[in-house]
Structures are given as structure tokens and as C-alpha cells.
Structure 1
Amino acid sequence: MKKRKIPMRKDIVTGEMAPKKELVRIVRDTDGNVSIDETGKKSGRGAYISIDVEVAKKAKAEHVFEKAFSTQLNDSFYDDLIAYVDHKQARKELFENGQ
């Protein structure tokens, strides 16, 4: 059976390459709105961050997405991002340990 290629993406905070499934996509649409792309298929400019709470906190401290998307973001966006990443990290740990 043919081995499938695993799509790799670069984490915008750490600069490390990782499989796309292990990252969260943040997208800026054509109207300039920045949001978390849960499906990974929204149209617009995307940037990726690892599913790690410490990396999300570092992104907030350094205002990484403001620099990447050349826009102003509220702290509430980063708080939502940290909560989302925390949830994804907990699910990942739960289901990996369960198998």
C-alpha cells in the first residue's frame, strides 16, 4: 500500500515544522476579521500554532498574530485562543492515553 504524505506546517510562534493535524489554524478573512479556524478550511490568510497552552501564552505576550496579519487584536482573542488550545490539548491527552 502506498504511504500517504503528511502535510507539514510551520508553527508561527516556535518556528518548528509539525504535522498539520497537530496545529491550530488562525485565519484572517478578506474583511480583516481574525478567528480560530476549527475546520482548517476557511478562506483567507492562515497561520498555525501548536496545540500547547504555553505556546499560546507566548503568542499573547509577543502579539504574534498582530504582526503576522498586520492588524490590531483584542486581548479577548488571545484569551479565547488560550482556552481553545487548552481544550484541544486536554482532548489530545485524554484520547492518546485511552488507546
Structure 2
Amino acid sequence: MNNRKIPMRMCTGCMEMKPKKELIRVVKNKENEVSIDLVGKKPGRGAYICKNINCLDKAIKSKRLDKNLEVKINDEVYGKLKEEINENENVDN
């Protein structure tokens, strides 16, 4: 049996290390445009957030996503993140 290494990333909300597949990636490209990367393949600097609304609220309040990506994130991106998290919570329940 081959034990595969599971890539771990830190959530910017709760600051816990979790498997990469359990997190949502927010990416900043070379033109400083911020977008949500659900596949995890977009080029650019990435930051990760749990699929949990409480983690997103913590990240927004402390501006950790802004600091990690070194750019001001607009409300549209936060709105899309909230929609994505709400969709995931509804699917899980």
C-alpha cells in the first residue's frame, strides 16, 4: 500500500491546518484581481478559507484575507464567498 501525502493548508479564519480539498481558495493574479478558485488551479497567490461562515466572518473582521493577498478585497468577492459557503452548508445538511 502506498500512503499518499495529503496537502494541508491553513484557514485564514480559524488559523487551523486542514486538508486542501476541504478549503476554498481565494486567488490574486498578476493584475491584482481577486477571484474565488474552486478548482485550485488558477495561477497567482492564494489564501484559503474553511467552508464555514464563522471562519469567513473572522477573516473579514480581522482583514486576514486582505493581508495574506496584499490587496484590498471588495465586497463582491466576500459576497460570492458567502454564497459558496451557504451552498456547501445546504448540500451537507
Do the structures match in fold with TM over 0.5? yes
In the alignment of these two chains, the number of paired residues is 93
RMSD: 1.4
Runs (4+) off by over 4 Å: none
Q: Normalising by the residue count of structure 1, what TM-score does the alignment of the two structures yield?
A: 0.84
Q: Which runs of 5 or more residues in structure 2 are unaligned? A: none
Answer yes or no: is 1:37 the counterpart of 2:26: no
Distance in 1 between residues matched to 2:16 and 2:25, nearest whole Å: 15
Higher RCO, 1 or 2 (CA under 8 Å, sep at least 6)?
A: 2
Q: Which runs of 5 or more residues in structure 1 are unaligned? A: 95-99
Q: Quick check: which has more Rg, 1 or 2?
A: 1
Q: Normalising by the residue count of structure 2, what TM-score does the alignment of the two structures yield?
A: 0.88
Q: Residue 65 of structure 2 aligns to a residue in which SS?
A: helix
Shift of 1:89: 2.8
- 1:33-72 to 2 correspondence within 5 Å? 33-72=33-72
Query: Are the counterparts in 1 of residues 13 and 57 from structure 2 also a CA contact under 8 Å?
Result: no
2:21 counterpart residue number: 21
Q: Quick one: percent identity of the two aligned structures?
A: 39
Q: Output the amino acid matched with 1:44.
A: G
1:48-83 Cα deviation digits (max 9, x unpaired) = 001101111222222222121221222222111111
Q: Output the amino acid matched with 2:54.
A: E
